[in-house]
Chains A and B, each alone.
Chain A
């Protein structure tokens, strides 16, 4: 069975500081990895994804993530936080389960940006 762990349900950073949101997964087969962002009372929006190829992927709004197979991690980073980055972020893993592409979401990390 696959699982996704997001370390830290709440993360606070100062405006202009580095953002680092952690995601670790467990999967017996190579996964596809995603990060989504959710603003209050809205749906989720795809930030970026890793499927194959380059392990460092860039997404929207200046975010990027690096797939590290040896560490089973897919941490999300942004060099300089902006007030508009305050939201909840979800990591998700997709693996093949009996012919169906099963998606498992982490429990989310709320990012607070302090002016």
Chain B
């Protein structure tokens, strides 16, 4: 079955460390997204990519970086510049950019600073 795979499910980061969250999809979707979820705040967009080798900042991109070298993959790096990285991170994809398409989400990565 097609879907989105996020790994790892749980990740612990030390102060000053960069960590990379993996997101892979086999849905043949063009558009991919990274969201951050904090309790009571809903989902906030970090980065999105509509096509390979292109990506755009979302609402809270500071302290994060991404790449889109393959259609299937959209990894997110949480850098040491992100001062409050503890959160639940969700990767999503859409078939296209049309507003009628809903998202398919991965199962998330919970990042904790130790």
Contact = CB atoms under 8 A, between A and B. Distances in A.
Interface of A: 9, 32, 34, 36, 41-46, 49, 51, 90, 94-96, 100-101, 103, 105-108
A101 B105 contact: no
B2 interface: no
A43 B40 contact: no
Given A43-B106, A43-B108, A44-B105, A101 B99 contact: yes
A55 B4 CA distance: 31
Given A43-B106, A95-B99, A105-B42, 9 more contacts: A34-B102, A42-B107, A43-B4, A43-B6, A44-B105, A46-B103, A49-B102, A101-B99, A107-B40
Interface residues of B, number: 21
The dominant DSSP class at the A interface is strand
Nearest to B88: A41
Contacts of A108: 40, 42
B51 to A, nearest CB: 13
A96 B105 contact: no
A107 B41 contact: yes
A108 to B, nearest CB: 6
A101 B106 contact: no
Contacts of B4: 43
